[in-house]
Structure 1
Amino acid sequence: MARLERFSDLLLAENQAQNLISKPSEAALWQRHIADSAQLLEHVPRETIAGTAPGPWLDLGTGAGFPGLVIAAICPHLDVVLVESRPRRSAFLRDSVDNLGLRNCRVVGERLERVKPFKSWVISARAFAPLEKLLRLSAPFSTNRTLYLLPKGRSATHELNALKPSIRAMFHVERSLTDDEAGIITRA
């Protein structure tokens, strides 16, 4: 919890210099961003969280650190890779990782298309890209066992229904624990 409190302080300070989160959402940082990120752990098998994960957790378009940096802070034994192409944001993420002592977390400051593929245990993305594009770009990093955890807000069902039926059948929408109207797309 201390790491998350420190992270919230770092984020709010940096938010004065660059728009990491909207000003109105600063007051709801814990509910809107931190708890919203942490809830993804509810969809991961407990024995895997408690033990050794079969590969890294890949967070695409991490932005201000959601959800990937929050996951790394909560689960220091999980290998978490944050991909963020915007230089100022990736610099903030690197500084936060260093400041929080997160040896389990690394930041890749590149566009996903330029990152050398590796197989991921979990792929998460929050506000990264429309679902169809996200799945296409993340395919080189996934296996048939990769768990997708994609908070999509109120557009979750709509985005899922827009996929080809053969792709759509592999996923489903779980209700968000932090917003009754939001959904998380996950692999079925």
Structure 2
Amino acid sequence: MNDTSLPPEVAADLRNGLQAMGLDAALAPPLLAYLALLVRWNRTYNLTAIRDPREMVTRHLLDSLAMVPHIESGTLADLGTGPGLPGIPLAIARPRLQVTLVESNGKKARFLREAVRQLGLGNARVAESRAEALDEPAAYDNLTARAMDTLAGIVAVGGHLLRPGGQLLAMKGVHPHEEIAALPGDWQALDVRPLQVPGLVGERHLVVCGRRA
């Protein structure tokens, strides 16, 4: 797999973004390989509404990579991952992180399996399942969901997957005060961290939640 199908500006955008975020330039080749595969499959399977590869760099790759400083190792279930966001960029950037890509849509799951195979991601696996039907109770140190439901909704479908003491890392736009207030009584927001995504207009926050002790 190579990135020759992408416009040359795409690689420059990604490398500039990685530099601005303080991330290793060596991440660029596998990320570009993933992006090229996504662009190619997207023409047929409509995996994402974003069509412009340069926009994908900002809104998919760099946005996902904004989580990298907040997670290093352990196990992560990426709920409703779609075409692998943020799970695949995180698996590329964090080789010691074991990522399960949870996706019930068959065509997206097929793409995910092909991406994991072509990229040689030994630390990623695909679970073709709805999050609430995944029978892996308390199996994960971390959960994430980038574009899936409210905080309470994420907890309702995926909370059973989180081990005691584990964390939900939810990507949100503006500070979600109302969503935090609507969390179930045995859950709480532990932290809300503003994220900086190069080229992205608007606010981005990482909301860290966990069960109350």
Q: CA deviation at 1:172?
A: 3.3
State the partner residue of 2:60. 33
Q: Pick from 152, 162, 167 the counterpart of residue 187 of structure 2.
A: 167
d(CA) in 1 for partners of 2:49 and 2:180?
Answer: 27
Q: Could you give the per-residue CA deviations for residues 120-145 of structure 1, whole angstroms, max 9, x where no partner exists? A: 11111111222112112222111332
CA contact (8 A) 2:38 2:83 kept: yes
Aligned CA RMSD, in angstroms, stands at: 2.0
Q: Which residue of 2 aligns with 1:11?
A: 38
Map 1:65-76 → 2, pairs under 5 A: 65-76=84-95
Q: Which runs of 5 or more structure 2 residues have no equivalent in the other structure?
A: 1-26
Partners of 2:46 and 2:75 lie apart in 1 by 28
Distance 1:153 1:19, change over 3 A: farther
The structure with the largest strand share of the pair is: 2
Pairs within 5 Å for 1:97-112: 97-112=116-131
Cα shift at 1:13: 0.9
In 1: Cα distance, 2:57 partner to 2:38 partner: 12
Pairwise mapping of residues 87-126 of structure 1 onto structure 2 (< 5 A)? 87-118=106-137, 119-126=139-146
Partner-residue secondary structure (3-state), 1:16: helix
Q: Name the counterpart of 1:130.
A: 150
| Separation in structure 2 between the aligned mates of residue 154 and residue 133 of structure 1, nearest angstrom | 18
Cα contact 2:78–2:87 (8 A) shared by 1: yes
Q: Is residue 37–residue 71 contact of structure 1 (8 Å, CA) maintained in 2?
A: yes
Which one-letter code corresponds to 2:161 in the other structure?
F
Secondary structure at 2:170's aligned position in 1? strand
Counterpart AA for 1:184: L
Larger radius of gyration: 2
Match of 1:185 in 2: 207
What's the counterpart of residue 15 of structure 2? Answer: none
Using the TM superposition, name which of 60-69 and 108-117 deviates more. Answer: 108-117
Structure-2 separation of matches of 1:155 and 1:15: 31
Q: Deviations over 1:99-158 (max 9, x none)?
A: 101111100011112211242111111112221121122221113321221102236333
Task: State how 1:57-72 maps to structure 2 within 5 Å.
Answer: 57-72=76-91
Structure 1 residue 187: Cα displacement: 2.7
Inter-partner Cα distance in structure 1 for 2:177 and 2:44: 35
- Aligned residue pairs total 179
CA distance 1:87–1:158, shift in 2 (3 Å): same
Q: 70, 77, 83: which is aligned to 1:43?
A: 70
Supply the distance in 1 between the matched residues of 2:110 and 2:103 (Cα, whole angstroms).
Answer: 9
Compute the TM-score of the two structures, normalised by the length of structure 1: 0.85
TM-score normalised according to structure 2 size:
0.76
Shift of 1:165: 6.2
Name the residue aligned to 2:3. Answer: none
Shift of 1:59: 0.6
